[in-house]
């Protein structure tokens, strides 16, 4: 400790040009406090460096936003870098009452209803891969897309107000994993299936796996002006049931193509109690699986030419059409691959296979030349042409145990997570040589680099998403947090700066964007329905609050402003259909009100300018307090009223 | 900046005894990197101090846990101090799929059903006040209680596994605020109502506010051996409809009493469109409200003597009985009070009223003497005896604008939040004089001090729970986070160390406990139902996994272990009643599996040793992948299977 103190002190003394400058006063200054602090907290020089590299003083904003999937929470987590403060959980697939999402207002109810499957509500998700919208292959900060692996759905989050605007379910596939990824101008949002099933939800015995079960990749057309996916202009491509895994879109020279891994060319499907081998061994027999190369621009033409079959309302290019139209090509890849990552310049694809020690670098120009020349080595059992592995690659880098996912910097380096080694390896894309390894915490999964999935990575920070926390933090077991490690990659050597426990859900993948690209609004224009971003259909004018009985029920036009709801007493009769139209009259930043109604499971968040509609049957008689749930002023507790539901029959006996 | 650098460098040089010790090598050491870091990140000396005081290196555990309410999220947030890392969101009132809470398993479903009101599910809460269980007035680290203000419910969280074990709803009150607070040995958990209503849920017009509307305080009997609230041994005390606010239990000399504020002795209830004054002005007319002093030990005797009336299944001591039995006494208090906080030695109660600049210090011995002597000054309109204000207090401290809530240290000081001043004032309890004020961020609400609500506060850290973040962090608007500020109170002057955005919900109150008091388990004993902590009723033996058809449906006895579910294929027929019994065979720390079933809204978390039961109707025919949602091993993606639901009628046409 004493030694570290000396080094540290020397370092700082050196930093300002030596000791001569210090007078007795400076030397006697704050030193005892600092010395005590370092001693008391037992900090090393490396700790001090890391502390200074991440500490972000009050009021100073972070340089980057990280948007991470919230894993099984069904939400998105937003983290500031380098402070590693969690800034927000955005409610996406799972109802969340603080944000008033799915707790009474008709707007968010509609968004959630978009995610119904087989006409049933699905109120959670297993989110894996967030994708920021791109313009010319660069994050543009406008939208975020996120998948639900468990139920094969995707959602659109508007970064103007960090709100979920749309959830779509194709109803043709049952799970996804290669999603979401976007094409370089967000023309399409890519959703690749994972566990095969008959397309469109029909039943077939799993013994007909090869014949009836299929994978698919869906290209969801994104209408940027509307900020919504346009189902009618979207289409899918049927694929063999190879358990497709992660995907990436080509960029620059490879724009127009997409790349998709697969993990089960063996066509294993388990059945341990039916005499089959378990999936995990059945799917690991072959030395090679298939990298799928898809020409999506050509597929778009084929779809728009009507060469599709409509399944569950979605246009599908059948596997045979995809083969006939030369949209789909396979290339062998090391077994059990996970990430396929296109290099920033778009010329190469890096594939890392968990059960192989190498990363393979595929050359887009070689692949393109082989496809154009029709030089196929063989065909798969479904008739899909297969290119030669060795003719498609530039080479392989021997990285270590369990390479999983790669990210890029601005200096030609690749960073690959080594799942089995619990390390991150930095290697040179040019000569395929390892430069450095840094140990990270147990079970590293994906990596996210600053602007790492774009044509122009920043090369500043890398975040390792480690799966287990074990005893890394004060225990909250048996269910422990995950552990995000922040790593400085700007210098010659990687430096682990910070360990962040993730308090909710297991983020699988994340993207990191420069903070100056994100411009959320502070307040809504007056009377905005936050679920659509448009003016409400039931406007409430200040001073014209009222209760109206109409043929369809009781309409209450209500306002909220510090510290009052108008009207503050609502009288209805048991069984009445109630339509609440509530507008926040606030136009000051952060002057949020909440609205809670006892016993009716209603919780709204009324941000400045926001308008919410609530539609319900007053099916319980009684006296129900309603009040503001966001501490808004000194008289916040008095921002309350009563919702009185008079019994329909004879009044209950007085006690 | 240059000056700060000099001071800093001088400070550290001074810390190790001057410059002579530094050789050229030391001076040339790490200094450029550090200098660059401080310059690049523009850090002041105070920043550096704060960074070192909070930075907690990888693997080092925090000294304290903060348990905060999750506000409208319905959850509890757990934060480590001093790192200010959020360690976990505990699912309490709101279903949460990562934790597998309320997403299919019958255990958590039962817990949530305990919170039904009027036979309807309530799937959110407005949590305000967490209370740690106490032994002899000190946190014992065993349980955490938390309220739902919106629907008048409370929950029990077992800190053995950070899981919610029970939710109870009294069904006699409609909202609460003075909850939860515990008596010094956790004999009772206190729930005080807020917005008055007829007790028991009956209807009465709000014009009968004075006659028919009532407040109440419920004393929930806690059975520590069972870890559950015992409804049959619990009771309530009827109170006038004064909108009771926060509460605290007496301790040491004042053990046996509880103290409860009120904010509406005017009996205002709003009615702006019915010719009444708004509540916020109607409830602020009187100069004084009433501090309620309740002798709960005597109340317990009265209740157990059967002098109660049963309302909605709960024993209630009527207001008249409370008066007759001398259980209830009022003392005037400055209007619009919020916190009532009993001093660590139990001799005094500090009441801070938002609309008065003073904190009032009430003397328990004076109050006790007045009550014992029957020296009442007057009675309230309901006949409750009222003591003299001046004879009940020791004095008042003039603190500033909007004093709200007080916490204590181990040196006789009080820390009070000043809501309107956005400051924290430290003052001497002994001489009622202000010692120091430190500005904090906008709209400070409650404060939490390390072990601050116990008989033995630590005096080390204080956390200010500020309501608005405004532009303090990178924007995520319009709904911004709240802002927790960590303050070091161990020295002569308070030092603000850290600003933490709260990414989900608005925590109102928190308690901070020494980390060495919390001992969660790492793994469950084999086959444990985590919702009860007991062995499952449907045990699954390793090697005896099976599918059984029984009169009540199909029972699947299933195991999960890296990386396989056994059985991995389940075949049922449309309409079958399905009973899944899943046991994790893992016994390694953090080896968690998840279980997701496509389209059936099922998400389980299977922690090591955990057993979950799921009970549902297979009402949708088709092929449904099921898989592990927690990244568990290199072959995690292959930990999957199929749930096959054959259609009941003729099979769907093949396409």
Which of A72, A175, A469 is the closest to B603 by Cβ? Answer: A72
The pLDDT, as a whole number, for residue A40 is 85
pLDDT of residue B60 exceeding 80: yes
A520 touches A159 (CB < 8 A)? yes
Taking residue A537's Cβ as centre, other Cβ atoms within 10 Å add up to 11
The pLDDT, as a whole number, for residue A2 is 33
pLDDT in tens, A96-110: 999 999 999 999 999
**What's the rounded mean pLDDT across residues A526-542?**
92
pLDDT of residue B279 exceeding 50: yes
Closest-CA residue to B588 (of A466, A485, A474, A442): A442
d(CA B521, CA B115): 27
Which of A174, A523, A603 is the closest to B624 by Cβ? Answer: A174
* Half-sphere exposure of residue B374: CA atoms within 13 angstroms, side-chain side: 4
Region of residue B419 (left: phi > 0; alpha: psi -120 to 50; beta: else): alpha
d(CA B190, CA B257): 11
d(CA A38, CA A618): 62
DSSP states along A187-238: SEEEEEE-S-B-GGG----GGGHHHH-BEEEEEEEEETTTTEEEEEEEEEEE
A30 touches B37 (CB < 8 A)? no
pLDDT in tens, B598-612: 999 999 999 999 999
CA dihedral for B443, B445, B449, B455, sign (positive or negative): positive
Taking residue A433's Cβ as centre, other Cβ atoms within 10 Å add up to 10
The pLDDT, as a whole number, for residue B649 is 75
pLDDT of residue B516 exceeding 70: yes
d(CA A515, CA A595): 32
CB contact under 8 A, B640 and A603: no
The pLDDT, as a whole number, for residue B623 is 98
The pLDDT, as a whole number, for residue B650 is 62
CB contact under 8 A, B48 and A52: yes
Tokens of B9: 């460098």
- Residues 146-205 of chain B with CB under 8 A from chain A are 149-152, 161-162, 174-175, 177, 194-195, 197-198, 200-205
Beginning with the edge strand found earlier in the chain, give each strand of the sheet holding B403-408 in spatial order.
Answer: B403-408, B413-418, B423-428, B434-439
The pLDDT, as a whole number, for residue B32 is 61
The answer to whether B113 contacts chain A (CB < 8 Å) is: no
pLDDT of residue B22 exceeding 70: no
d(CA A607, CA A597): 17
pLDDT of residue A350 exceeding 50: yes
Residue A279 DSSP SS3: helix
d(CA A592, CA A631): 8
pLDDT band for position A650 (cuts 50, 70, 90): low
A629 touches A596 (CB < 8 A)? yes
Region of residue A480 (left: phi > 0; alpha: psi -120 to 50; beta: else): beta
The pLDDT, as a whole number, for residue A17 is 28
Lowest mean pLDDT: which of A56-65, A112-121, A139-148, B16-25? B16-25
| Position with higher pLDDT, A633 vs A489 | A489
pLDDT of residue A654 exceeding 60: no
Task: Identify the burial level of A75 via C-beta atoms within 10 angstroms of its C-beta, where 0-12 means exposed, 13-18 middle and 19 or more buried.
Answer: buried
Residue A537 DSSP SS3: coil
Residue A252 CB partners (closer than 8 Å, separation 6+)? A137, A184, A345, A346, A347, A455
* Element at B595 (helix H, strand E): strand B593-597
pLDDT of residue B622 exceeding 50: yes
pLDDT in tens, B183-223: 999 999 999 999 999 999 999 999 999 999 999 999 999 99
pLDDT of residue B655 exceeding 60: no
pLDDT in tens, A358-401: 999 999 999 999 999 999 999 999 999 999 999 999 999 999 99
**Cα B452–B455–B457 angle (5° rounding)?**
35
- Residues 506-535 of chain B with CB under 8 A from chain A are 506, 508, 515, 518, 520-524
Interface test with A, best of B14, B41, B440, B629 (most A CBs within 10 A): B14
Roughly what angle, to the nearest 10 degrees, separates helices B2-15 and A2-15? 150
The pLDDT, as a whole number, for residue A336 is 82
**What's the rounded mean pLDDT across residues B349-365?**
93
Which of A27, A610, A639 is the closest to B13 by Cβ? Answer: A27
The pLDDT, as a whole number, for residue A355 is 82
Beta bridge partners of B483: B466, B501
**B271 neighbourhood in chain A, CB within 8 Å:** 568-569
Which of B151, B524, B569 is the closest to A274 by Cβ? Answer: B569
- Residues 305-334 of chain B with CB under 8 A from chain A are 311
> Given the DSSP bridges, would you call strands A138-148 and A153-158 parallel, antiparallel or unpaired?
antiparallel
**What's the rounded mean pLDDT across residues A554-568?**
97
The answer to whether A355 contacts chain B (CB < 8 Å) is: yes
A571 touches A641 (CB < 8 A)? no
CB contact under 8 A, A206 and B569: yes
d(CA A514, CA A407): 16
pLDDT band for position A515 (cuts 50, 70, 90): very high
What ipTM was assigned to the predicted interfaces of this complex? 0.94
Lowest mean pLDDT: which of B86-100, B237-251, B255-269, B327-341? B327-341
Name the range with the highest mean pLDDT among B20-24, B35-39, B134-138: B134-138
d(CA A239, CA A380): 12
**A206 neighbourhood in chain B, CB within 8 Å:** 569, 623, 642, 644
* Half-sphere exposure of residue B110: CA atoms within 13 angstroms, side-chain side: 13
Above pLDDT 90, what percent of chain A? 87
Residue A214 φ/ψ, nearest 5 degrees: -145, 155
The answer to whether A121 contacts chain B (CB < 8 Å) is: yes
d(CA B466, CA A58): 13
A283 touches A268 (CB < 8 A)? yes
Task: Identify the burial level of A405 via C-beta atoms within 10 angstroms of its C-beta, where 0-12 means exposed, 13-18 middle and 19 or more buried.
Answer: buried
Closest-CA residue to A127 (of A146, A108, A106, A143): A146
The answer to whether B492 contacts chain A (CB < 8 Å) is: no
- Residues B183-212 as b or e (16 or more Cβ within 10 Å = b): bbebbbbbbbbbbbbbbbbbbbbbeebeeb
A192 touches A215 (CB < 8 A)? yes
Residue A539 φ/ψ, nearest 5 degrees: -60, 150
A399 touches A416 (CB < 8 A)? yes
Instruction: State the count of interchain CB pairs (< 8 A) between A and B.
Output: 649
**What's the rounded mean pLDDT across residues B267-290?**
92
d(CA A217, CA A260): 9
**A86 neighbourhood in chain B, CB within 8 Å:** 86, 501, 503
Above pLDDT 70, what percent of chain B? 94
The answer to whether A116 contacts chain B (CB < 8 Å) is: no
pLDDT in tens, B530-585: 888 899 999 999 999 999 999 999 999 999 999 999 999 999 999 999 999 999 99
Region of residue A239 (left: phi > 0; alpha: psi -120 to 50; beta: else): beta
Closest-CA residue to B631 (of A446, A405, A352, A278): A446
Place of tokens 């105070």: B46
Which of B174, B503, B621 is the closest to A625 by Cβ? Answer: B174
pLDDT band for position B25 (cuts 50, 70, 90): very low
Beta bridge partners of B89: B77
Closest-CA residue to B245 (of A590, A645, A640, A560): A640
pLDDT of residue A530 exceeding 50: yes
Taking residue A282's Cβ as centre, other Cβ atoms within 10 Å add up to 18
d(CA A352, CA A601): 47
d(CA B361, CA B347): 10
pLDDT of residue B29 exceeding 50: no
pLDDT of residue A655 exceeding 60: no
pLDDT band for position A263 (cuts 50, 70, 90): very high
B147 touches B170 (CB < 8 A)? no
Tokens of A626: 């309603």
Strand ranges for B399-541 from DSSP E: 403-408, 413-418, 423-428, 434-439, 444-449, 461-466, 482-488, 495-502, 510-514, 528-529, 534-535
Which of A13, A22, A85 is the closest to B473 by Cβ? Answer: A85
Smallest CA–CA separation between B376 and chain A, in Å? 30
The answer to whether B365 contacts chain A (CB < 8 Å) is: no
The pLDDT, as a whole number, for residue A24 is 33
d(CA B354, CA B342): 18
pLDDT band for position B117 (cuts 50, 70, 90): very high
d(CA A260, CA A201): 23
pLDDT in tens, B391-448: 999 999 999 999 999 999 999 999 999 999 999 999 999 999 999 999 999 899 999 9
CB contact under 8 A, A631 and B65: no
**What's the rounded mean pLDDT across residues B519-529?**
96
pLDDT of residue A7 exceeding 90: no
Tokens of B120: 């309807």
* Average pLDDT over chain A, rounded to an integer: 92
Q: How far is CA A524 from the centre of its chain?
A: 25
pLDDT of residue B124 exceeding 70: yes
Is the preceding omega at residue A567 within 30 degrees of 0, hence cis? yes
**Cα B86–B92–B96 angle (5° rounding)?**
80
DSSP code of residue B524: P
State how far the alpha carbon of B535 is from the alpha carbons of A95, A636, B14, B237, in Å.
32, 46, 61, 38
The pLDDT, as a whole number, for residue A30 is 38
**A569 neighbourhood in chain B, CB within 8 Å:** 206, 269-274
State how far the alpha carbon of A356 is from the alpha carbons of A386, A387, A392, A445, B634, in Å.
21, 20, 18, 16, 11
* Half-sphere exposure of residue B620: CA atoms within 13 angstroms, side-chain side: 18
* Average pLDDT over chain B, rounded to an integer: 92
């Amino acid at each position: 400790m004493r030694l570290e103190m000396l080094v540290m002190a020397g370092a700082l003394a050196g930093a300002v040009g030596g000791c001569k400058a210090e007078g007795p006063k400076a030397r006697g200054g704050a030193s005892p406090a600092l010395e005590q602090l370092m001693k008391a907290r037992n900090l090393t020089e490396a700790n001090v460096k890391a502390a200074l590299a991440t500490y972000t003083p009050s009021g100073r904003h972070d340089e980057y936003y990280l948007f991470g999937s919230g894993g099984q929470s069904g939400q998105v987590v937003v983290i500031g870098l380098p402070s590693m403060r969690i800034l927000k959980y955005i409610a996406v697939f799972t109802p969340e009452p603080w944000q008033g999402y799915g707790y009474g207002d008709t707007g968010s109810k509609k968004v959630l209803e978009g995610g119904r499957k087989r006409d049933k509500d699905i109120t959670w998700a297993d989110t894996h891969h967030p994708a920021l919208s791109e313009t010319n292959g660069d994050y543009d900060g406008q939208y975020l897309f996120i998948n639900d692996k468990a139920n094969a759905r995707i959602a659109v989050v508007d970064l103007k107000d960090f709100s979920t605007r749309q959830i779509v379910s194709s109803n043709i596939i049952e799970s996804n994993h290669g999603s979401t990824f976007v094409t370089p101008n967000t023309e399409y949002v890519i959703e690749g299936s994972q566990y095969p099933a008959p397309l469109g939800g029909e039943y077939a015995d799993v013994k007909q796996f090869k014949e009836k079960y299929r994978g698919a990749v869906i290209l969801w057309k994104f209408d940027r002006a509307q900020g919504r996916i346009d189902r009618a202009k979207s289409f899918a491509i049927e694929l063999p049931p190879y358990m497709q895994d992660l995907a990436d879109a080509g960029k620059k020279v490879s724009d127009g193509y997409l790349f998709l891994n697969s993990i089960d060319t063996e066509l294993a499907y388990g059945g341990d109690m039916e005499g089959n081998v378990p999936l995990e061994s059945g799917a690991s027999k072959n030395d090679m699986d298939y990298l799928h190369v898809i020409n999506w621009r050509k597929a778009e033409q084929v779809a728009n030419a009507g060469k599709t079959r409509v399944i569950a309302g979605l246009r599908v290019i059948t596997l045979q059409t995809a083969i006939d139209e030369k949209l789909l090509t396979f290339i062998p890849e090391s077994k059990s691959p996970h990430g396929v990552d296109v290099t920033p310049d778009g010329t190469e694809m890096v594939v890392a296979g968990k059960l192989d020690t190498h990363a393979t670098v595929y050359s887009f120009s070689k692949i393109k030349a082989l496809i154009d020349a029709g030089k196929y080595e063989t065909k798969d059992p479904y008739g899909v042409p297969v290119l030669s592995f060795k003719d498609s690659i530039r080479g392989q880098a021997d990285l270590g145990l369990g390479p999983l996912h790669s990210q890029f910097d601005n200096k030609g380096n690749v960073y690959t997570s080594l799942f089995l080694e619990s390390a991150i390896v930095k290697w040179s894309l040019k000569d395929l040589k390892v430069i450095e390894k840094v140990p990270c915490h147990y079970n590293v999964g994906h990596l996210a680099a600053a602007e790492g999935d774009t044509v122009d990575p920043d090369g500043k920070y890398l975040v390792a998403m480690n799966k287990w926390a074990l005893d890394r933090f004060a225990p909250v077991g048996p269910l422990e947090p995950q552990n995000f490690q922040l790593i400085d990659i700007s210098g010659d050597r990687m430096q682990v700066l910070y360990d962040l426990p993730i308090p909710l859900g297991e983020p699988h993948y994340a993207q990191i964007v420069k903070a100056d690209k994100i411009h959320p609004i502070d307040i809504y224009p007056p009377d905005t329905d936050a679920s659509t971003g448009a003016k409400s259909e039931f406007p409430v004018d200040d001073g014209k609050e009222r209760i109206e009985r109409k043929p369809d029920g009781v309409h209450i036009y209500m306002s909220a402003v510090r510290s009052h709801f108008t009207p503050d007493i609502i009288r209805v009769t048991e069984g009445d259909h109630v339509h609440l139209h509530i507008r926040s009259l606030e136009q000051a930043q952060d002057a949020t009100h909440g609205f809670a109604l006892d016993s009716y499971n209603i919780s709204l968040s009324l941000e400045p300018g926001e308008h919410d509609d609530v539609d319900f049957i007053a099916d319980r008689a009684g006296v129900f307090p309603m009040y503001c749930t966001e501490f808004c002023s000194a008289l916040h507790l008095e921002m309350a009223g009563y919702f009185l539901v008079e019994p329909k029959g004879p009044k209950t006996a007085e006690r």
